[in-house]
Amino acid sequence: MTAISLGFTRVAEMLGIVLVQPLFTRSHLGSQTRTETHMAAQIRTWTAQYMPDDSFRGHFEFGLKYERLNFEFFSRVFAQVDPQEIIDWVRDAPTGTYARRTAFFYEWFTGTTLDLPDTAANVGYVDALDAALYLTCARPENSKRWKVRQNLPGTRSYCPLVYLGPKKERGWVYDVRAGVERLNSTYGMDLLRRSAVWLTLKESRASFAIEHEQDQNDRVKRFAAAIGELSGRMEAPLSHEGLASLQNAILGAAVLRLGIRQSPVFVGQSSFHGQVVHYIAPPPTAVEDMLQGLRDFEQRTRGLDTVARTAALSFAFVYLHPLSDGNGRVHRFLLNHLLAADGLVPASIIIPVSATIAGSPAGRAEYDRVLESFSRPLMRRYEGSYHFGSTQVYPDGVPSDFHFTADQDALHAWRYLDLTRHVHYVNALLQATVEHEMAQEASTLRDNDAARQAIKQLVELPDADADRIIASLRTNGWTVSGKLRRDLPALFAPDGRLQHLQDPIVQAVKQAFTAHNGAENSDFF
């Protein structure tokens, strides 16, 4: 027996809508009310008493009441539905919450004004998005026409959606500010700032490793300098000037192409069978408009100081792929920049997320899976809509033989990304980075300081020699290597004049690195 669909699923069936991003909530009729929630979907069963009128109005209202929203779905629905359906609904229920919200969404998504008068002045306002469940803008504006608080985080040009869930169910949200404060309490801000110098270089190297360019030492150092200098200090990183500064700082003057792209782009690889396309970015004709939409998203959510805003902005940027080169590195730069700009971490502290991503095969695989949560369904939806053919030279001088024939249809998905999974991912990434990567680096630096001081209590020598001793002993399991004996014979050669200090030095260094084991970790975590 075929299940009877309800809500948004039924509306999609009525209008023949095929989505890139499937509806998260899928409702149907059954013998008892129950909810089954999985990572990618929520299956809700409703008894006959909940059955709405089998019409656009009945099922769309049901969806607004009981289901998670999907803005790609809204965009496609309002492009196809007969506006008379909404006009009749509002005329029947001029003060109805769901009728007014539907009319508001129709005009917002289509830019078309319905042939209806404004809502009566004595009607109360209602949120466009439930602010208790979704990432919304920081300062809503009242839409007097529908008596709706316009609290959408973006604009029609680009409006990513993030479902946060009820506050009592947000145990997955990581308090990065508190995590960094615990590090400060354990190690002190001076130690954190000093470790940030190395972590910045590590972040840069890892970011290039993600792009499979970790051997580019000069570029790694340049990116590290850009992170240290600009992170948290740029007023408008998404402006043309800001992006140009980032490209110059990250890529250098020798890069072939700078600026906003004016040519098609795809992410892929060559194979024996030709080009394999993993992701197609929005067309060059849409880039400027969507980039402005992303700037508006940044402005409208500014002041929320949440990881959700940081994650949504950075991933929305990489899916837009607006630059000729450097999109991935700017995407990961934005993660650190926004955390600092929003006051979640001090500007002098770098959260080396790239190091966590690139630090293990599992870390890289999870990053790829998150990116593919949008790119894979996009490619499945449009697998027959692109080809390689005649070459065209575009205004930015880029020759391309790539042709995609479904730009207008795909804009429904590109403009209205659901980035909920990406926000969950960034929360987990930040927690792992702060509580492991950063804690380990700060602990190592603290122990190195203690070991250096212990050595200097025994013998006078330059810091560089002390650090050489420490590194060698740690690498060789607290034993003196032949190389160390040759490099510092006075201390470690059998006939060295300070050879009697060898064992005390080895024990002092070992003690410095083992003194905090166990108790400290339990205190921090």
Domain membership flag for residue 477: yes
Q: Residues 125, 186: one domain?
A: no
**What is the token pair recorded at 76?**
């496609």
Burial class of residue 14 in the structure, from the number of CB atoms within 10 Å of its CB (0-12 exposed, 13-18 middle, 19+ buried): middle
DSSP class per residue in 54-69? SSHHHHHHHHHHHS--
Domain membership flag for residue 159: no
Q: Residues 232, 335: one domain?
A: yes
Domain count, the chain: 4
Pick from 360, 258, 368: which is nearest to 318 by CA?
368
The string of pLDDT tens digits covering residues 349-404 is 888 888 888 888 898 899 999 999 999 999 999 999 999 999 999 998 899 999 99
Region 218-230 average pLDDT: 74
Decide which of 24, 43, 77 is a domain's last residue. Answer: 77
Decide which of 77, 95, 115 is a domain's last residue. Answer: 77
Q: Residues 204, 238: one domain?
A: yes
Domain membership flag for residue 448: no
The string of pLDDT tens digits covering residues 456-480 is 999 999 999 999 999 999 999 999 9
The range of the structural domain enclosing residue 416 comes to: 176-431
Domain membership flag for residue 441: no
Q: Residues 56, 184: one domain?
A: no
Domain membership flag for residue 340: yes
Q: Residues 106, 199: one domain?
A: no
Region 277-296 average pLDDT: 96
The string of pLDDT tens digits covering residues 130-157 is 999 999 999 999 999 999 999 999 999 9
Domain membership flag for residue 198: yes
Handedness of CA 66, 70, 76, 79 (dihedral sign): positive
- Give the separation between CA 97 and CA 291, rounded to whole angstroms: 33
Q: Residues 289, 336: one domain?
A: yes
Predicted local distance difference test score (pLDDT) of residue 215: 53
Could you write out the three-class secondary structure of 290-336? HHHHHHHHHHHHCCCCCHHHHHHHHHHHHHHCCECCCHHHHHHHHHH
Q: Residues 354, 423: one domain?
A: yes
Check: pTM over 0.85? Answer yes or no: yes
Q: Are strands 141-143 and 126-127 parallel, antiparallel or unpaired?
A: unpaired
Query: Does position 216 have pLDDT exceeding 70, yes or no?
Result: no
Query: Does position 334 have pLDDT exceeding 70, yes or no?
Result: yes
